[in-house]
Structure formats: structure tokens, C-alpha cells
Structure 1
Amino acid sequence: MTPVSIEFGKSLAARETSIPGLIVLDLPVHGDARGWFKENWQREKMAAAGIDLPDFGPVQNNISFNDAVGTTRGIHAEPWDKYVSVATGRIFGAWVDLRKGDTFGAVFTAELDPSTAIFVPRGVGNSYQTLEPDTAYTYLVNDHWSPEATYTFLNLADETAAIQWPIPLDDVEISAKDKSHPRLADVVPMPPKKVLITGANGQLGRALRAEFGDHPWIEYAAREDLDLTSPGLDAARRWRDYGTIINAAAYTKVDLAETPEGRRDAWSANVTAVAALARVATSNGITLVHVSSDYVFDGSKEGPYTSDDVLSPLGVYGQTKAAGDAIVSVVPRHYIVRTSWVVGDGRNFVRTMASLAERGISPKVVDDQTGRLTLASDVAARIEELLRTGAPFGVHHVTSGGTPGTWFDVAREVFRLTGHDPDRVTGVSTDEYFAAATEPVADRPRNSVLEDPRPGAPWQQRLADYLTSSGH
């Protein structure tokens, strides 16, 4: 005979709870005199029904069988997501948010039978009490158990959480370990998933340091800290603990990339390393942020390049960046942040022009390459915003606003803003500038203007801000 606790005929639906990310699902259960059937987890139908549930990639299915009514387990918060349901019987479930944040300590309770399931995000404490004998409690998880993982626990009888257990805790079966867990005041909140920022010593890397700050869950890695081309990269970290990788590491020596040695180095850093990160991100459900360049375009277009334009790089550097973009585009969770003419903390065109102005040197600067200057700090801020707001995955152009200018215009503006005569700067064509070069020279896109739907302040204003902050 079919147990009376099962509710038949529900439509597939989801309900949000008072705990962010904790989602209750109603599951259709079909039954007759023979018994019942349900699709416990059906991602395609969930998506079609508009259920905003992450495709969390379960790797393990566990079942806890409980003989007696009142068996009580929990409150355990683990560093992975869980999809919980009941195969037979009925439970009273209690969930407590043990993540670091404003909702720390929030409580949600509900009864689950085979027609109900719940998605429990990482860091939310999970516990239950059986209400029927022979209850089978099942859950999918998206990581394998590990003694190295970080766990957080809460006492079932915590006075602050004040969970109203149907059966008093004094009258039920509880393990000694569960009885000894700390009260909420003594619980160390589970930190967010880690963020790894590579290329941490470069211009953008230093801007990302300033933007993301120093926290236990933020990790900065320079080349000497983590070899992205190493065959052992897959085992270099417990990658399931990471939620985001921001790859600010790149080979950017545009002209040197045209030499045999430079070509190898460029492909190694911009393609081989990116492919390795893409593999790690895909295998572990990590969001990969990849920083791209205007050099993926040939510069022949009239008007700004959009995020949908076909890539057509000219030189080796641009080819490697385009290859990196193509690789990252197939990572399920990815942001390709394409920018242009970046200046930050380090050697760059603006600082070179400011130095020449101060030393009385009058430079010749190319006047047939057009684009917009972009501050590394603005790129870092946009990356933080994309991640914080959960913006749509894909390609995002990030540049300053204002009327595009040439490198000649930028140089003149640097001279003017630093109190020097801008007429000291002479404009020349790219061909004239490199006419006497004895080493290989890469082709440059003449049009580097990127269309940013949400451009920053005009590049002239941001240049002034940059020079002021740099002490000029």
C-alpha cells in the first residue's frame, strides 16, 4: 500500500525561502495501486519551468536510512551544495545559514516527503528529524567528501536558532558528536568560496589587489607562486574550494612576440596556460574571468567593435589573445573582459610621456591608431561588479567613455595636464614611426575603439585622475 504521507499530483515548481539560495521544490509524483514514481532531479524540465536552480554538477549520491521515528541528525554545513529529497517516509528539516554575511543565523524549517525536495547551498547548515519509521533520506552533492574540507556545525539545541523540533531532543536518538557542537555565538562562519587572482604583480593584478583587498578567501598568485603551464596544475590546489579565477596573467610584449622565442612565450602564457585554467574551471564549476584585448581585431572596421564582432587578429600577440578568448568561451561559467590601452601601476605609455615632458624631451607619437585609454582600476572595478551582481556570462567590453583619440592625442593631453606645452608632441604615422626599426614589429590595429554599453567617465577625465594619483 502506498504511504499516505506522499502528496500526488503536484506541478513542478520552486519556492524561495528566508535563506538566500535555499530553494524548496515541489516534485510531481505519480502513483497507483502498484506504488509510485517520480523524477527526483530533472534539470531540463526544471530549466523549462523557469526554476532558477544552479546546474551544480553533482558527483556523489548519498542515502541515509533511519529505522525509528525521531532519529535526529545535523546541524552540519559543508563546503558544497546539496540537493536533498526523501525516498520513503517523512522528515522535519531545519536549515540554518552559517555563511559569513548579513543572513548568518537565519533559520528555515519545513516537512519533506517524496513529493518535496530542497536545494541547500554551500555553507547552509542542514539537519532533520524523522517523522515516520523506515525513512530514507537522499542527497546529491557536487564534491567528494574530504578530511581537508572546511566544515561548520551548530548545536541542535541552540537557543538563538530556537528550532521547534516536533519531538523534543531529550526524547530522540542523537549522536554524541551532534550534541557537542557549539552554540551560534561560538560558530565560526563559513567563508565564501576562494577567489584566485593570477598575474597579481602586473598592472591589472595590482589594481585587482586594491579592488578585492586582503581576505582569507582571496588568493593572489604571481608567476613564481603558480605555474599555469605545469602538468600538475589540476592537483596544485583543492579546486573545489574555489568559486572564481581571475586570470590577469598574460604575455603582452607585442613586438617581441614576433620573434621565435617570443612566439613560444606568447603561446605558452596566452593559450597553453589559459587552456589549463579553462580545464580546471570547467571540471570544478569555477567562474573563469579572462582579460582580453583590442588586438583580437584587425582594426579595419568603421566604428566601434562590439562584443559580437568576429575576431581577426593581425600579429602573434593578437592571435594568442584570440585563441585564449575562443578557449574560455566554452567554459560554462565565464566572463571575457575585453579592454584597450590599459594604464595602471607600472611602466606604461602615460608614465613614459610624463617623464619625457619633465625631462624636456619632445617625442614623436603615432597619430593613426584610434582608441580610448582605460585605467586598470576601472577594469578591476568592473570585474568586481560583474561577479558581485551575477551579470550574464559572456563577453563584456570595458573602456573609458568620451570621444576616441589617438596615441598622439593622449600624449598631448599628458603634456597639457602636467603643465607642459602639448605642441612639443609631433604626430607621425605608424609606418613612419617604425621605419627605422631593426627588430620585428607587430602590425597594430588602427581602430581599437570598443563599444562598451556602460562606458566609464571620458578618458580625458580618467587620465587626469590617473596623473593626479600618480603625483604628476
Structure 2
Amino acid sequence: MTEFGKALTVAETAIPGLLIADLPVHGDSRGWFKENWQREKMIAAGLPDFGPVQNNISFNDAIGTTRGIHAEPWDKWVSVATGRIFGAWVDLREGPSFGTVFTSELDPSRAIFVPRGVGNSYQTLEPDTAYVYLVNDHWSAEAEYSFLNLADETAGIDWPIPLSDVEISPKDLAHPSLAAVTPIPPKKTLIVGANGQLGRALRDVLGEAPEYEYVGRDELDLSDPSFTSTRRWRDYATIINAAAYTAVDVAETPEGRAEAWAANVTGITALASIANENGITLVHVSSDYVFDGTKPDEYTEEDGVRPLGVYGQTKAAGDAIVATVPRHYVIRTSWVIGEGKNFVRTMASLAGRGIAPAVVDDQVGRLTFTTDLAGAIRHLLDNEAPFGVYNVTNDGEAQSWAEIARLVFGLTGHDPSRVSGVSTEAYFASASGPIAPRPRNSQLSLAKITSTGYSPRPMRDALADYLS
């Protein structure tokens, strides 16, 4: 018999993420009413904001109708409309809880949230029983399921009505034992721009486990609108966008401006839409170029953006778009150094060839080594840090490009005094073609990222390691 007047409560079970809820049911002589899914109240009570897109009803004529055990690649919210059922849930996901069992009766006043990969099965305890389930992905013949035999001895489910006495489909009777079950793998992390210097560092930091998928521009080009249809996006938990148009001077030309906006804004808009529609965490790497460099001290995450050139404008626009994704990290960084051609390697080469360069001395900031940047991204994800904007560079005193060049000369055994300073205007005076304006101050405050427990290496130490 349905219990009326319960308070809305949510409780954990022995299976991680499997949540059982008591629902308020209001009844009188005419019948009863309940809110089967009320997003605002139920999220406040502890249920996830799982974004249902399809609502199904299963009606069962007879007592003892038994269905399952099926593990689907989506989350579901199961609630009884009429009658009463016995439910059994078995964790069929990869990991230490694989094989864990939970059972409970459900009636209109009790419902359950079943996370992706947890096998679920139901046995009706009353005639004319109907249960409703909301799922957060549309049914697809291409979706991968996992199954468990209802009579599996390892699971040892104590069915109220013996399986020999109930109606079961031949297909359900043929499901494998637990020892033969293929576990449901975790959702994947997609690294976009995997062939760039940050992408290569992310591969080193994250590794080659199956849940990490690395794609270069030849496999996924953000400036190509067709990329949105290249994947089943519900299979991803996280997207790390390490791709961007970064040719800051070329961006000042008509052709470069179009390419910069296509990759850094239009492509990011599509990526953010995918994340919004599929509940994906989106990690996006931004730049000090969103600021004009006129602030006398470090820029914080709360400072308003004032980009000077086209590249900075596209990055600022991309940041604003990514901020519309509920689960997002915008990583602002500066002066990135990784594998491939970069300022540090150029200075080391000049030092070794006996060249005495003139280097800009009126732009101040910190280098960011891709190993530290990738480590910060992993730290935020692994520790489930609050979503939002984070500055990430290496630590230590900010320096000009000329001062960093002198450090490179000294660390490679050459005379730092060979490096002379020059103003930005003088350095670019003889350049042909447009030159993008640079922020003179690129110092980013690290207080927020360090408050989460991540401490970037001092810039000088990281530079010495890089050169060694």
C-alpha cells in the first residue's frame, strides 16, 4: 500500500551513485498525486541534474513479471506509477564495486536513480503494475549494453517469487554469469588538439589508458562545422580543448581574422553546445591576451577582459561562450613553452651559435611549461575543483622576455650580457605586414589555483629542467 505524506529524501546505497528516494505522495478518497520528477526540488535533495530526454513506461499485467538484468549506457530515474515492484541492481561498471548488489521494493512513494552501467531488473509484486523511467539519452541500436543472468549465483539475488514460477523472456534467460560479463567502461575524456605542444604534454601526464582519446586537427578540426556529427557524444565525460588558432600577427590580416574566429569562436560555440546537451565537463585553455596589459599588478580571474587585437578578442569571446556550460574550466595561461619551436629553444640556439640577440624588455610575465599546465588540468579534474576560471602559469617573480633570454643564456653556459633589451616598438619597427598589439603586463595571479592544492613549479626551476 502506498504511504502518503513522506518527506522528499535521498539516500545512498551500497552501489556508488545508485540513489534511492522517498517521494511525497498526496492522497485522498479520489486517489493520489505526486511530482514524479521535479528538477529544482530533487537536485536540492541530492539527486544529480542528469538531464532526461526520453520518458518510457513499462506496463505489466501479471504478478511476477521479471525483466533484466540490463546495464545501459545512460542514467535513468525509475518511479512506480501503479502497483509495486521488487528491484535488484548490480554494479556492472569497471572498478572496485563491480558485482555489488542492492535490492529494494518500490511503490509510488519510492523511486531510484540508476547511474550509467549499473544493471537493473524488476519483478512485479502486484497485477497491473506500471513503472516510469526517464533516461538522459535517446535509445540507439548502436549503444553498448552489458547484461547479467537473473539467476547468477555470485549475485545471489533473493527474488520474492522464485524465477521458476515467473514470466521471463528467453533473451533475459540467456544472459551470462557475472564471471562472463563484459564490464561497462567509464565515460571517456576527449583531448582535442592532441598533436600540439599542450596536447603532447597531456598525453604524457594522462597516459594511454582506454578512457583517454587523443585527436589531432586531421581527426577533429574545430573550424569544420561537420565535426559535431563525428562522435556519439554521450560516451564522453570530459572534453579538454587544447586546440586553438594562435597566429597572433596573422590574425590581424583579413584571412587570418576569419580563421581565428572560425576556430576560436565558431568552433568553441559548437563544442560548448555539445557539452551542454550531453552533460560534459568542458576544459578550455585561454590566454593572457584577453587583457590589455595596463593593470599595474597581477590579473585575477575576476578582472574584466579588454583584449587589444583580433586573437585576444577571439579568446575572450571563446571564454564567454565556455562559461555558459554548467561544468566548465577556463584555464588562462601565458607564454607557453613545450615541445616544438618556442622562445626558449630559439634563445638556446642563438646562444650556442654565438649570436647576441636584441630581445623585448617592456613586456612582463611568466613562462608556462606545458608539463605544469597539463598537471594543473589533471589536478582540477581529479579533485573535482569548483568549476570556473583559473589562472595557470609557473610561479616566481615575473620577468621580461629579455630577462628570460638572459636566464637561458646563463643556464646553457653562455654570457647573459650578450642579450640586449629593446622596446616592443623598436623590435617590430622593420617588420613587414601587420603586428598584433601585445599586453605589456601578462602577470596572472596564482592564488586561486594554489588554493585548490596545486602549486606550479617556480619558473626558474622549470626552465632549468627544460634546458637540461
Tell me what 1:383 maps to. Answer: 377
**Which of these residues, 158, 166, 172, is aligned with residue 172 of structure 1?**
166
Question: Is the 2:372–2:457 contact (alpha carbons within 8 Å) kept by the matching residues of 1?
Answer: no
- Is 2:328 aligned against 1:334? yes
Deviations 1:25-50 (A, max 9, x none): 11111111111111111111123xx3
Tell me what 2:25 maps to. Answer: 29
User: What's the secondary structure of 2:103's corresponding residue?
Assistant: strand
Q: Report the residue type matching 2:343 in the other structure.
A: F
- Is 2:248 aligned against 1:264? no
Deviations 1:250-309 (A, max 9, x none): 111111111222112111111111112112222222222111001000011121111111
- State how far apart, in whole Å, the 1-side matches of 2:392 and 2:9 are: 38
Tell me what 2:463 maps to. Answer: 463
> Which TM-score applies when normalising by structure 1?
0.95
Q: Report which stretch shifted further, 233-242 or 244-253.
A: 233-242
User: What's the secondary structure of 1:311's corresponding residue?
Assistant: coil
- State how far apart, in whole Å, the 2-side matches of 1:160 and 1:374 are: 52
Deviations 1:116-136 (A, max 9, x none): 111111111111211222111
Tell me what 1:85 maps to. Answer: 79
Question: Is the 1:335–1:396 contact (alpha carbons within 8 Å) kept by the matching residues of 2?
Answer: yes
- State how far apart, in whole Å, the 1-side matches of 2:442 and 2:33 are: 59
Q: Report which stretch shifted further, 72-81 or 186-195.
A: 186-195
| Residue 61 (structure 1) shift | 0.6
Tell me what 1:311 maps to. Answer: 305
Question: Is the 1:193–1:242 contact (alpha carbons within 8 Å) kept by the matching residues of 2?
Answer: yes
Question: Is the 2:89–2:120 contact (alpha carbons within 8 Å) kept by the matching residues of 1?
Answer: yes
- Is 2:168 aligned against 1:160? no
Question: Is the 1:366–1:406 contact (alpha carbons within 8 Å) kept by the matching residues of 2?
Answer: yes
User: What's the secondary structure of 2:306's corresponding residue?
Assistant: coil
- State how far apart, in whole Å, the 2-side matches of 1:20 and 1:295 are: 43
Question: Is the 2:225–2:267 contact (alpha carbons within 8 Å) kept by the matching residues of 1?
Answer: no
Tell me what 2:217 maps to. Answer: 223
- State how far apart, in whole Å, the 1-side matches of 2:298 and 2:261 are: 27
Q: Percent identity?
A: 71
Tell me what 2:409 maps to. Answer: 415
Question: Is the 2:57–2:133 contact (alpha carbons within 8 Å) kept by the matching residues of 1?
Answer: yes
Long gaps (5+) in structure 2: none
**Which of these residues, 117, 124, 140, is aligned with residue 123 of structure 1?**
117
Q: Report the residue type matching 1:425 in the other structure.
A: V
- State how far apart, in whole Å, the 1-side matches of 2:385 and 2:408 are: 35
- Is 2:39 aligned against 1:43? yes
Deviations 1:195-226 (A, max 9, x none): 22111111011111222222333222212112
Alignment of 1:55-70 (within 5 A): 55-70=49-64
Q: Report which stretch shifted further, 6-15 or 329-338.
A: 329-338
- State how far apart, in whole Å, the 1-side matches of 2:154 and 2:349 are: 62
Alignment of 1:399-414 (within 5 A): 399-414=393-408
- Is 2:102 aligned against 1:108? yes
**Which of these residues, 225, 239, 251, is aligned with residue 245 of structure 2?**
251
Q: Report which stretch shifted further, 360-369 or 29-38.
A: 360-369
User: What's the secondary structure of 1:232's corresponding residue?
Assistant: helix
Deviations 1:419-443 (A, max 9, x none): 2222222122222222222221111
Question: Is the 1:95–1:109 contact (alpha carbons within 8 Å) kept by the matching residues of 2?
Answer: yes
- State how far apart, in whole Å, the 1-side matches of 2:221 and 2:461 are: 38
- State how far apart, in whole Å, the 1-side matches of 2:344 and 2:311 are: 21
Q: Report which stretch shifted further, 280-289 or 227-236.
A: 227-236
Deviations 1:357-407 (A, max 9, x none): 111112111122111111112211222222222222221211221122221
- State how far apart, in whole Å, the 2-side matches of 1:185 and 1:351 are: 54
**How many matched pairs?**
462
- Is 2:318 aligned against 1:324? yes
- State how far apart, in whole Å, the 1-side matches of 2:146 and 2:226 are: 30
**Which of these residues, 208, 217, 233, is aligned with residue 214 of structure 1?**
208
Question: Is the 1:73–1:128 contact (alpha carbons within 8 Å) kept by the matching residues of 2?
Answer: yes
Long gaps (5+) in structure 1: none
Question: Is the 2:186–2:211 contact (alpha carbons within 8 Å) kept by the matching residues of 1?
Answer: yes
- State how far apart, in whole Å, the 1-side matches of 2:225 and 2:402 are: 44
**Which of these residues, 182, 199, 221, is aligned with residue 176 of structure 2?**
182
- State how far apart, in whole Å, the 2-side matches of 1:355 and 1:158 are: 67
